[in-house]
Structure 1
Amino acid sequence: MTTDSPVTSDSALVPGPLRGAVWLLRGEAAALGLLAAYLIYADLTSTASDLVNALFVTAFTAGGALVLWLLGAALGRLRSGARAPAIVLQLMLLPVGYYMIQGGLAWLGIPLMALGVLVVGLLVCAPTNRALGVG
């Protein structure tokens, strides 16, 4: 039995640049999740001089991981409203990377800045705009 309309997968609707941005956002979320797990371990095993601040930093890191993961999932489902928050979070990597470079951590600051610029570029390119119905 044949059907008149072909079956397409969702991944066929997502253009390559957007798919790349989604994977990079999820990678960032995974990295922050690992950092949050380490911070939880550190909170539980070390003697903290300020437990409230330690827990705040841990919660902020875990929340950031969750937000990045949810933005990546929403963009993977072609939700155009997730693009602007994702761009803002990626642009926040620029001052973070700059101050890392100023603090002697250029080996980490430069790749962070490049990652932010790359993801923003993938989120504003023409195929992504067409897929999300913006621009």
Structure 2
Amino acid sequence: MTSVPEPLPGSLRWAVWLLRAQGIALGLLTLFLVYATLRATASLVGGLLVTVFALAGAAALWALAVALGRRRTIARAPAIVLQFMLVPIGYYMIQGGLAWIGAPLIVLGLLVCGLLLSGPTNRALGFDTERA
């Protein structure tokens, strides 16, 4: 007899969805970087390194979203680290005059961290929230 798993709580479902959206967005940016690297007249090696880094980030975000969707507790900490990395990125974008994208990045990173640390997510991932 197989048991039907409980549906994901809203907080974890939203976190998974947002991580997947970030992975897709970074994947699209990677495609743009491939185009820009092929058209560039400057350092090909530098462009390729940035492109590979973006591709790795997109793959990591997608893999973490899939793992969290399957309730793998080990995926939560790396997902939180990646989300906290959005804070300094957003800060420096604001300092560079791109507040229209930097501020939403900060908010997005903190929002996903909050979703991943919420009580329903803790319970869904099997973390003991009540100490005896």
Moved over 2 A (4+): 5-8
Say whether the 8 Å CA contact 1:93–1:113 is kept in structure 2. yes
Say whether the 8 Å CA contact 1:13–1:131 is kept in structure 2. no
- Of 99, 105, 108, the residue aligned with 2:98 is 105
Report the count of equivalent residues.
128
- Of 101, 112, 125, the residue aligned with 1:132 is 125
- SS of the equivalent of 2:127 reads coil
AA at the equivalent of 1:74: A
Matched, 1:22 2:22: no
Q: Distance in 2 between matches of 1:112 and 1:46?
A: 28
Q: Distance in 1 between matches of 2:81 and 2:96?
A: 23
AA at the equivalent of 2:21: G
Query: What TM-score does the superposition give when structure 1 sets the normalisation length?
Result: 0.90
Give the Å deviation of 1:13. Answer: 2.8
AA at the equivalent of 2:52: A
Q: Distance in 1 between matches of 2:39 and 2:44?
A: 12
In the alignment, which residue of structure 2 is the partner of 1:39? 33
Give the Å deviation of 1:7. Answer: 6.0
Identity %: 59
Query: What TM-score does the superposition give when structure 2 sets the normalisation length?
Result: 0.92
AA at the equivalent of 1:21: A
In the alignment, which residue of structure 1 is the partner of 2:113? 120
In the alignment, which residue of structure 1 is the partner of 2:83? 90
Unaligned runs of 5+ in 2: none
Larger radius of gyration: 1
